[in-house]
């Protein structure tokens, strides 16, 4: 999609929120097509009809995410949370392995490495993570975009440093997938939830693994991880899928029914178009903040803007119909394809008042 008017028409057909919703970094609005799909999926169960179409939705989601991530579909596994994916990666590391992480990154991309107890977890400021990779670093784990304040990791520099020292990379795209163009093929591992910038329901998450599976063991696998799932329903799985599907969890079928339509919408809009739209609104907000005498956390090029000291305004803004987040005392606003310049100005007017 190339034109602003085309994006506007697409958005008007899908979204009708009565609030000024600037909180996609927490969870997105659901497009109308996803709501319809969720209803239709529930009716299949209510009426006792075959669930075959829902399993087709699962595979359509896998393929759509592979396209967005820029990886072969054979590298994409499906699960329920980034935290579970991190746990799988953490379990694959040998005792004593060093994991390099960014300060105050989101818990889901960090905690499993700490829970192990026998790994060396080293934490540095985000801006120093590439230069901090060293001989002996086994894995670098970082969010592509920081949840707290929208800062964007320099993934190109990180990947180069990791290759130079023989380290693997694990990138959480939860705050990026859907508005920031991805090059997940350049990472060893990558993950994302579905309910933020991908516009989907809760309950689904994607995991990208290397072609050689990166030493992962399908610890959480059930019957869906078999090469022939319906022949793997009793007893241990005798043959795991030859693709990343060996790491699948049993899918939340309703979620994937809605998510399929959400991903279709993202692809129709085009990530490049969404990126330009979202960042333009964020920059408009930054300019307005400057006029009001406020300085956000520096995060150039990000669709997320975090303003120190204004988090306490969140409850009052919510009462006024403007939805943002309070993160560690900072007001966090996140701009996506359903937002407009009028939304930005309404938030600025509320802050000024």
Residues of the chain with CATH 3.90.1150.10: 4-30+270-352
- Percent of the chain clearing pLDDT 70 (strictly above): 99
Q: 43-268 adopts what CATH topology?
A: 3.40.640
Q: What is the pLDDT of residue 353?
A: 85
CA atoms of 276 and 144, how far apart (whole Å): 18
For the stretch 100-143, pLDDT in tens is 999 999 999 999 999 999 999 999 999 999 999 999 999 999 99
Enclosing H/E stretch for 333? strand 330-334
Q: What is the pLDDT of residue 2?
A: 54
CATH of 4-30+270-352 among 1.10.3470.10, 2.40.128.20, 3.90.1150.10, 3.40.1030.10: 3.90.1150.10
| Band of pLDDT at residue 3, cut at 50, 70 and 90 | low
For the stretch 287-336, pLDDT in tens is 999 999 999 999 999 999 999 999 999 999 999 999 999 998 999 999 99
Mean pLDDT value across residues 200-211: 98
Q: What is the pLDDT of residue 106?
A: 98
| Band of pLDDT at residue 17, cut at 50, 70 and 90 | confident
Q: What is the pLDDT of residue 174?
A: 98
Residues of the chain with CATH 3.40.640.10: 43-268
Distances (CA, A) of 269 to 14, 66, 103, 258: 12, 17, 34, 17
| Band of pLDDT at residue 255, cut at 50, 70 and 90 | very high
Q: What is the pLDDT of residue 1?
A: 59
Count Cα neighbours of 90 within 13 Å in the Cβ-side half-sphere: 23
Q: What is the mean pLDDT of the chain?
A: 97
Asked if pLDDT for residue 231 goes beyond 70, the answer is yes
Q: Are 75 and 208 in contact (CB under 8 A)?
A: yes
């Amino acid at each position: 999609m190339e034109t602003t008017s085309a994006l506007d028409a697409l958005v008007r057909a899908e979204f009708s929120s009565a609030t000024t919703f600037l909180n996609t970094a927490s969870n997105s609005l659901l497009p109308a097509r996803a709501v319809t799909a969720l209803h239709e999926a529930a009716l299949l169960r209510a009426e006792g009809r075959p669930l075959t179409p829902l399993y087709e939705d699962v595979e359509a989601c896998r393929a759509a995410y592979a396209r967005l991530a820029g990886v072969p579909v054979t590298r994409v596994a499906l699960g329920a949370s980034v935290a579970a994916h991190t746990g799988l990666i953490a379990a694959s590391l040998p005792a004593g392995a060093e994991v390099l992480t960014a300060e105050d990154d989101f818990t889901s991309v960090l905690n499993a490495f700490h829970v192990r107890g026998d790994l060396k977890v080293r934490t540095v400021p985000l801006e120093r993570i590439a230069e901090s990779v060293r001989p002996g670093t086994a894995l670098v784990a970082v969010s592509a975009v920081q949840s707290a304040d929208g800062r964007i990791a320099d993934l190109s520099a990180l990947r180069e440093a990791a290759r130079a020292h023989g380290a693997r990379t694990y990138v959480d795209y939860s705050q990026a997938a859907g508005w920031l163009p991805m090059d997940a093929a350049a990472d060893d591992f990558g993950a994302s939830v579905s309910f933020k910038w991908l516009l989907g329901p809760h309950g689904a998450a994607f995991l990208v693994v290397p072609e050689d599976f990166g030493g992962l063991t399908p610890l959480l696998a059930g019957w869906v991880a078999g090469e022939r799932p319906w022949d793997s329903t009793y007893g241990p799985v005798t043959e795991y899928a030859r693709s990343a599907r060996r790491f699948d969890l049993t899918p939340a079928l309703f979620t994937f029914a809605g998510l399929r339509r959400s991903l279709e919408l993202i692809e129709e809009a085009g990530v490049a178009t969404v990126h330009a739209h979202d960042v333009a609104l964020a920059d408009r907000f930054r300019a307005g903040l400057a006029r009001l005498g406020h300085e956000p956390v520096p995060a150039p090029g990000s669709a997320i803007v975090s303003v120190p000291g204004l988090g306490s305004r969140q409850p009052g803004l919510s009462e006024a119909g403007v939805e943002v987040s309070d993160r560690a005392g900072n007001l966090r606003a996140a701009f996506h394809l359903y937002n407009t310049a009028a939304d930005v100005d309404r938030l600025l007017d509320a802050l000024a008042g």
